[in-house]
Amino acid sequence: MGKKTRDGPKGGVGNAIKEMSTTTVTTTTTTTSGEGKWTSSEGGNLLTWLSQVAPQQQKQNQQSRGAIDYLNKANARKNAKPSKSSAGRPPAAETTSTKPEVPKPRSLQQPQQQKDQDNAGTNAVEKLAALFPEKQVKEAPAPNAKVGNPIAARVAAEGPKRNEKERRNETVRAQRHRGEREVKKERLQRRLEMMKEAQKFHEEALRTDPEYQKRFQTFQELQAAQQVAHSTFLDRYAKQGSLNINTIVSERIDIPVILNLIDQHDVVFICTDTGSGKSTSVPKALLELSNDTRVVSTQPRRTATVSIATRVAELRREAVGEDVGYWIRGDKCGDVQTRLWYMTSYTLLLHLLNTPLRPPFTHIVLDEFHERQPDIEVTVALLRLCLLRRTAQFKLILMSATLDTEGWEAYFAGLKVATYKQSEPKHLIHDYFMEDVCTLVGTMYDEPPNIVQRGVEYPLMEKHTAIAQALLLYLNTCTDPQHAILVFLPGRGQVEQMHMWLELNLRKPVDIIPWHSAVDLSVIQEAIKRRGHNRQKIYLATDIAEVSITLPDVVFVIDMVLVKRPKVNKENPATVLHPPLMTQWVSKGNIAQRRGRIGRVQQGFYFCLLSAEAVAALPEHMHPPIENSRIDELSLHCLQLVSNPVAIFSICHGQPLLETIATAMDTLCNLGCILHRKDPLAVGECISEIHTNSEWSPLVLEEAKNVVFADIDEYEYTFVGRLLQLIPVSPLPGMLVLYGFFTGLESLTILAAAVTSSLSPFAPNQPEKKRRWRHDVAGAMEETENSMREMCCGMRSDILAVMKAVLLFRVQFAKSGEDVTAAKMWCAQHHLSYDKLRSILDLEQHIKYELANFIPVRDVPDATVLLNQLEKAAAVMLVMTNVAFVSQALEVVSEGNTYQKTKETAVGIFMDVVAVPDIHSPSCLRWQEGEIIVPVQLSLMGNKMLASFSTAISSHKQFWLSLLLLTHKVMYAVFADDEGEFYVFSVKYYSTERYLETDAATGSAILQFRQMLSSVGQALRLLRDYQHLYDDEFADVLNDHGLKPLRDMQCEVVTAMAAFFNNTENITVDEVEHEEDDLDEVSMISLALPKRG
């Protein structure tokens, strides 16, 4: 890494931006060479400056080539003897760059005018003192000194009629008031004496203690610097113009030039500053080209998708849903006449799955492209393939304020590519780095060396949070309430903590708006429109506020320069299974996005809580999210395109890690979503009518073979895989829906899938009780958990407690006539979140909607009936929930007391992890030594997993029996000894195999039960094929295939399950060690259709 210097444009980023008065428009093609060195006369944006102040010879991070490694490794295993080999990855080429040097922070620069030193005596404090003259404090008169004294007058008026008791009370009150005044005088006298003693100590120390002299001189310098910084801030802030909220931000990009580039090229990159209007103006201009254009524009987040669609419709003076609409998973506003769709990126991918090789759009715009979510990586790979093979005629437009186009232009080799770059002067933004902020608020802070290379530790977070709080106090005191503040915090937890701190510590009234992924869009939209002249708005946001939505009243941005994102450590297998949310430093690109939230309609102030030197050392961009994410669900969707999802990952620009791919493929195989094409059972399990990959697959495989020199295995997509692919939840909760169809309890299991895919609605601190409980967290948690225990149907299961809470909420909501206020009061009484309950119900309806076109669902709309069904079938629901999440099962090895800071500890059964309960998440159960815990949510904290939202099973026999009954595939063999025959079964998850021994009768009964499930599964497939028939006609079809009526078979399954678990004392199921590879029989819950009779 090159040497860091401190030379550069004076005044920091703010002055550098101010000097940019020239607009530059650059177009490049794939043959264009790299751009030259940037100078202030050429214009540019913040990212341009940041990219040049970085240390020279900075090495780029290696990019994952996991898909290619996975295929090469698989090929090596087939070609070699049974020996383990690892596939290496080619190192990414190192790049070097020559960049200008870092400017000096404002706090280290010399004052620009000598007169600031000459007039140092007239500082900001004295100016304020001149405006507000000191008031004289008069001593209060002695009691009863005035004729009009209330007590004396009242006593005189009443005379002898007054009650003697009242006279005594008044006398006591008068004495108390006199005593309080005397106490205050004594306290003031002691304070004056302490001040005199402190002054004497100060004068003595100045004469005799050199170290004290040095510290005092430092304090004087800090105070003088603070006064200068405060005066400078007030001078700048005094230039703040009046704000017209209704002002429309004018376009600062050249639309005719962009349209011309799009017309002449296949792919166009649009790189402009945040706030230039590209998200609204470019799709709108494409829509207005002609009546034949059909445009889709994607956003990474649901909030921005709906907001921008609404804004564009307003600009066209029409209602959203006409020519302009939005389409997000679970919500659609538009019809066949809509010609401009705003979608989330995942929705567009699902749309492409159903229109292979021929996207029904003339223009596809991928906005905020720099975020590169895993679904975007796959989408771009498919669109690139369409353009290269000329299977469809459309234009691809990629837009971002912080995109490194050079690497992407190479990715699109063979296509006509152009780049549009523009930066125009806008409203001035004053930039303050950490050193400037500390000077402004009057605090000292020594930044640790190499802070960016080090991890973000808790003590460092505490210091930075304290500085942010000091800055918020300062701004709340010194600024106009009409000027809002936007604070970027790492995650939801920090948002909630800061929210509570602000409520307790700010002097002036404020309007605090939390903004994270769980906050509904309508809340943010209402907050933006809300105008409070005496209440300053403070947005507390995660990185969700980085993109697209304009906040016109925001003048100040406080950036913690942190974000919480998943991070996989290849050395720790637990992080591959459950990528932990790690607090990380953001990139320069993120800084540019956050800074761009201001300066759109008026001048702004950007406070960066990291030094200028540290900012220069930040990476240009974050690692692609696909490298640090579980890709099970994405792989499941990719199977609709290609017979091996790894093939499509191998042609993506960013690729998942080898370990992540292996985990995803293992999970899909264990759940029965896919079967290897060479498996003898694959012929009967695959569903031919859903294989739309017949068009995509050959092209993807051919393209993959150009980069992977190995054979690519092919898989078949099963009925289970298709079912899980349709519903908007991940595969593990999706298995609950399948079990519901097996048992006829689909209404309950659909609710369970929605519950386990959502956050728990139980919360110990409801808003109206925050102040009362802030010193009694343990008491609040216990009260909430007691409420959960009342709803858990007699079982030790958080999931059942939440399911019953949802159903009780529905009953209460109906009784109150759908009165929202009454429903919220009921939620508060039971420690429930109204918004989270509504979110669960919305997801439940979305699952039913997606299933409706695939297979008929026997819905139970009456909540009271469903509640009664839950009470009766609680034990069966407990078993199905355990098996759905069995891969995360834990065995408790030691007990503890959570509130006395002694932790229970458990170890993974199929994972090599150590876990403890999450004390911040309420639960109706306590871990007991020897029992098995099956958590729904796992998150890594240090070297331990935090488990929450769990179910407890005290009987190991019950746990292992449930696995043998419902696991998709088990291996087994029958053995005999002197005591008779016995069965040995094996179950496998995450490459960990467990062996179970049963007596002959139990083993035979287990196999018979699994055959019953197969029969139900076959009937479900027939129901899928013949759903247009009436019940009696469908019964004839089942009879032709040798099957009983579906409802009868489902009742038999439930009855048999109850018989198993009601007679566990007569059943033998024990875990054993079995080293020999002699379990050669396969028992699979097969959905292959039987032959017609």
Number of H helices, E strands in the chain: 40, 28
Write down the pLDDT at residue 973: 93
Report the range of poorest mean pLDDT among 121-125, 403-407, 605-609, 741-745: 121-125
The answer on pLDDT for 269 being more than 60 is yes
| Alpha carbon distances (Å) from 592 to 50, 51, 555, 597, 862 | 9, 11, 16, 9, 52
How much is the pLDDT for 853? 83
Cβ neighbours, 10 Å, residue 82: 5
Per-residue pLDDT of 32-70, as tens digits, reads: 334 333 333 333 444 444 444 444 444 445 566 677 777
- Would you say residue 979 lies in a domain? yes
Q: How far apart are CA 43 and CA 144, in angstroms?
A: 76
Which range, of 15-24, 562-571, 699-708, 1028-1037, averages the lowest pLDDT?
15-24
Instruction: With respect to residue 804, please indicate whether it lies within any of the assigned structural domains.
Output: no
| pLDDT of res. 630 | 86
Q: Which of 275, 341, 363, 280 is nearest to 315 (CA)?
A: 280
Whose tokens are 């206020």? That residue is 821
Predicted pLDDT of residue 154: 46
369-382 residue pLDDT tens:
777 788 888 889 88
**pLDDT for res 770:** 44
Residue-by-residue DSSP string for 37-91: ---GGG---HHHHHHHHSPTTPPPPPPP-HHHHHHHHHHHHHHS-S-------PP
- Output the DSSP codes for 878-927: HHHHHHHTGGG-EEEEE---GGGT---EEEESSS--EEEE-TTS--S---
Instruction: Mark whether 583 and 601 lie in a shared domain.
Output: yes
Residue in the block written with tokens 């087939």 = 78
The answer to whether 927 and 906 are in contact (CB under 8 A) is yes
Answer whether residue 1048 shows pLDDT above 90: yes
Of residues 586 and 244, which shows the higher confidence score? 586
Detail the DSSP E strand segments found in 402-535. Answer: 417-422, 429-432, 484-488, 510-515
Q: CA-CA distances (angstroms) from residue 686 to 675, 824, 902, 1026?
A: 8, 48, 51, 17
| Same domain (yes/no): 195, 311 | no
Q: What is the mean pLDDT of residues 341-347?
A: 89
Please check the confidence at residue 516 and state whether its pLDDT lies above 70: yes
415 vs 968: CA distance, rounded Å: 46
Answer yes or no: is 549 within a domain: yes
Q: What is the mean pLDDT of the chain?
A: 80
For residue 402, name the pLDDT band (cuts at 50, 70, 90).
low
Give pLDDT tens digits for 295-314. 999 988 777 788 889 889 98
- 420, 445, 476 — which closes off a domain? 420
Classify residue 741: in a domain, yes or no.
no
Question: Could you tell me which residue, 86 or 539, shows the higher pLDDT?
Answer: 539
In this prediction, residues 986-999 reach a mean pLDDT of: 91
How much is the average pLDDT of 631-648? Answer: 85
pTM across the whole model: 0.75
**Res 145: pLDDT:** 41
What confidence tens digit (pLDDT) does each residue in 109-119 have? 444 444 444 44
pLDDT score recorded for residue 1081: 83
Greater confidence, 49 or 279?
A: 279
CA atoms of 923 and 751, how far apart (whole Å): 19
Domain end residue (candidates: 420, 446, 471): 420
**Would you say residue 152 has pLDDT above 80?**
no
Look at residue 162 and tell me whether its pLDDT is greater than 80: no
Residue 468 and residue 527 in one domain: yes
In a shared domain, residues 469 and 552: yes
Predicted pLDDT of residue 810: 95
Mean pLDDT of all residues in 421-441: 84
* Cβ atoms of residues 681 and 969 within 8 Å: no
Same structural domain, 452 and 559: yes
Predicted local confidence at residue 765, as pLDDT = 57
Residue 634 within a domain:
yes
Measured distance CA(754)–CA(382) in Å, rounded? 31
Report the pLDDT value the prediction gives residue 129, as an integer from 0 to 100.
46
**Tens digits of residue pLDDT in 602-624:** 889 999 999 999 999 898 888 88
Instruction: Report how many domains make up the chain.
Output: 5
Higher pLDDT, 697 or 603: 603
**Whole-number Å distance between alpha carbons of 162 and 180:** 27
Parallel/antiparallel/unpaired status of strands 340-344 and 295-299: parallel
Tell whether 17 is covered by a domain. no
Q: Decide which of 68 and 715 is more confident.
A: 715
Instruction: Residue 9: count other Cβ atoms within 10 Å of its Cβ.
Output: 19
Share of the chain above pLDDT 70, in %: 78
In DSSP notation, 109-147 reads: SPPS-THHHHTTTS-HHHHHHHHSPPPPPPPPPPTT-ST
Do 577 and 440 have their domain in common? yes
Token pair of 172 as six digits: 């006591």
Q: Report the pLDDT averaged over residues 198-207.
A: 87
Structural domain that includes position 643: 629-664+672-677+687-716
What's the maximum distance between 2 C-alpha atoms anywhere in the chain?
Answer: 115
Same domain, 353 and 477: no
Residues 560 and 644 in one domain: no
Q: Which among 398, 420, 442 is the end of a domain?
A: 420
Say whether both 467 and 552 belong to one domain. Answer: yes
d(CA 663, CA 637): 16
List the one residue out of 646, 659, 274, 223 whose CA is nearest residue 440. 223
Tell whether 570 and 660 lie within a shared domain.
no
Q: Does some domain include residue 411?
A: yes
Euclidean distance between CA atoms 873 and 751, whole angstroms:
14
Q: What is the CATH number of the domain that holds 551?
A: 3.40.50.300
Cα angle for residues 319, 320, 323 (degrees, 5° grid): 90
Looking at the structure, tell me whether residues 376 and 304 fall in a common domain. yes
Mean pLDDT of 199-224: 88
Do 587 and 656 lie in one domain? The reply is no
pLDDT band at 760 (very low <50, low <70, confident <90, very high): confident
Q: Helix or strand or coil: residue 821?
A: helix
Q: Is residue 455 part of a domain?
A: yes
